[in-house]
Amino acid sequence: MKVGLLTGGGDCAGLNSLIRAAVKRIEEYGWEAVGIRYGWRGLLDNDMVDLSYKSVSEKIGVGGTILKTSRTNPIKLKDGAETVVRNFNRAGLYALLAIGGDDTLGVASALYKMGLKVVGAPKTIDNDLSATDITFGFDSAVNEAMHALDNLKTTGESHDRVMVAEVMGREAGWIAAHAGIAAGAHIVLVPEEPFSVSDVISSVKARHNRGLLSTLIVVAEGARIKDSGKSFSKEGRIDAFEHPELGGIGQFLANEITRESGYETRAVTLGHTIRGGTPTAFDRYLATRFGLAAVDLIKEGKFGMMVAIHGTEIKSVKLEDAVSSKKFIDGTMLGVLKALSY
Ligand code: F6P
């Protein structure tokens, strides 16, 4: 029997760790692993490659995805879903492991309802999938961001500057919150709580007045300005899942701070830097557990399900439930961010 694997949506560290574990389990069951390249596009284009454990066994610590990825949405394309199912069957595939975020897994859920034998594994640096306590890729991104923020702190302190770091996080500010707390940022701005530019400037001035001449501000790319609700996206750049390409709020805020306070300010967009690179031990471990458990779901015939972690236990949840809602920062975490802002 042949089992297909695909990685869709934004890449992250840990994808190859999961692929490695899944291929090992597939071979343990006497099956063959088939890599589908570029996410759902690989099933539209019949872009597939045989995988062996021998060929992936040393990829556990390699960032990104050896299968490549894309933001292809077959549901949006004319006969896209039908083409995916037809090519899946023509390739002689028995089942599919879809590794992705809510976009990729939303497509998996729709295709399951069309009869495709598919299971899902949750991946995203944004950590905004509600059905799992954490997604792999998040810890690696937070650590990359924290190290960058530590660096910005030392150079900001050397120059008595206000440093504004923009990090990824479209709708949920988990990366900004965790990395900001870990790096001891002075102000953390997240999409869940629109902010007032004048309040931020007042906080920076208050620090200056207390002799704290450098301030580190972390702002999620999806953060919004109170009242106006203004967000910052790149003109006309919308992906196949209707997501605008975000960016620019960090520089905007830095400009406002300079204009209003006269303080030297610099803005840095961490962007894809925090999504690349090698996975942390935590992510390698979690992704490995997800890979093994996902193939076990196939063995047990539990399709339409997604692996998840609840506490320290690996569980399985319905795909349709997993993609029905997102996980946002709650009042408690917002309270922590406020308590640590000064
Ligand atoms: O979905 C994860 C994510 O990294 C978001 O945090 C970010 O806004 C988006 O992907 C960037 O997408 P792309 O790499 O396609 O520009």
Superfamily (CATH) of domain 139-275 = Phosphofructokinase domain (3.40.50.460)
Nearest to 42, CA basis, from 15, 70, 18, 17: 70
Percent of residues, the chain, with pLDDT higher than 70: 100
Nearest to 319, CA basis, from 333, 302, 334: 302
In 3-state terms, what secondary structure has residue 151?
A: helix
Residue 335 has pLDDT above 80, yes or no: yes
Going by CA atoms, what residue is nearest to atom 9 of ligand 1? 10
Nearest to 318, CA basis, from 62, 189, 130, 88: 130
Show which residues are catalytic.
Answer: 126
Which pLDDT tens digit goes with each residue over 141-176? 999 999 999 999 999 999 999 999 999 999 999 999
- pLDDT value of residue 237: 87
303-308: average pLDDT: 98
Provide the mean pLDDT of the chain.
Answer: 96
**One-letter amino acid for residue 101 of the chain:** G
CB-CB neighbours of 331 under 10 Å: 9
Nearest to 156, CA basis, from 203, 200, 198, 208: 208
Q: How confident is the model at residue 276 (pLDDT cuts 50, 70, 90)?
A: very high
Nearest to 33, CA basis, from 291, 288, 287: 291
Query: Ligand 1 centroid vs 270 CA: distance in angstroms?
Result: 12
Percent of residues, the chain, with pLDDT higher than 90: 95
What are the residues facing 188 on neighbouring strands?
A: 218
2-137+279-322 and 139-275 in the same fold: yes
251-256: average pLDDT: 98
Which residue among 65, 103, 275 is best mutated to probe the pocket of ligand 1, counting the most ligand atoms within 8 A of its Cβ? 275
Domain residue spans of the chain: 2-137+279-322, 139-275
Q: What contacts 104, CB < 8 A, 6 or more positions away?
A: 6, 7, 8, 9, 39, 40, 98, 120, 123
Query: Ligand 1 centroid vs 91 CA: distance in angstroms?
Result: 31
Token pair in block for residue 37 = 């390249």
- pLDDT value of residue 236: 77
Going by CA atoms, what residue is nearest to atom 4 of ligand 1? 10
Residue 329 has pLDDT above 90, yes or no: yes
| Residues within 6 Å of ligand 1 by CB | 9-10, 71, 101, 124-126, 168-170, 221, 245-246, 275
Query: Ligand 1 centroid vs 141 CA: distance in angstroms?
Result: 12
- pLDDT value of residue 231: 78
Which pLDDT tens digit goes with each residue over 169-213? 999 999 999 999 999 999 999 999 999 999 999 999 999 999 999
> In CATH, what is the architecture of 2-137+279-322?
3-Layer(aba) Sandwich (3.40)
- pLDDT value of residue 74: 98
Nearest to 116, CA basis, from 70, 74, 81: 81
* Global model pTM greater than 0.85: yes
Contact present, 52 and 23 (Cβ < 8 Å): yes
Q: How confident is the model at residue 100 (pLDDT cuts 50, 70, 90)?
A: very high
Q: What angle do CA 68, 127, 241 make, to 5 degrees?
A: 55
Which pLDDT tens digit goes with each residue over 31-83? 999 999 999 999 999 999 999 999 999 999 999 999 999 999 999 999 999 99
Query: Ligand 1 centroid vs 10 CA: distance in angstroms?
Result: 5
- pLDDT value of residue 230: 77
Residue 325 has pLDDT above 90, yes or no: yes
CB-CB neighbours of 52 under 10 Å: 12
User: From edge to edge, which strands make up the β-sheet containing 2-7?
Assistant: 48-51, 32-36, 2-7, 93-100, 118-122, 305-310, 313-318
Which pLDDT tens digit goes with each residue over 217-237? 999 999 999 988 777 988 878
Q: How confident is the model at residue 250 (pLDDT cuts 50, 70, 90)?
A: very high
- pLDDT value of residue 264: 98
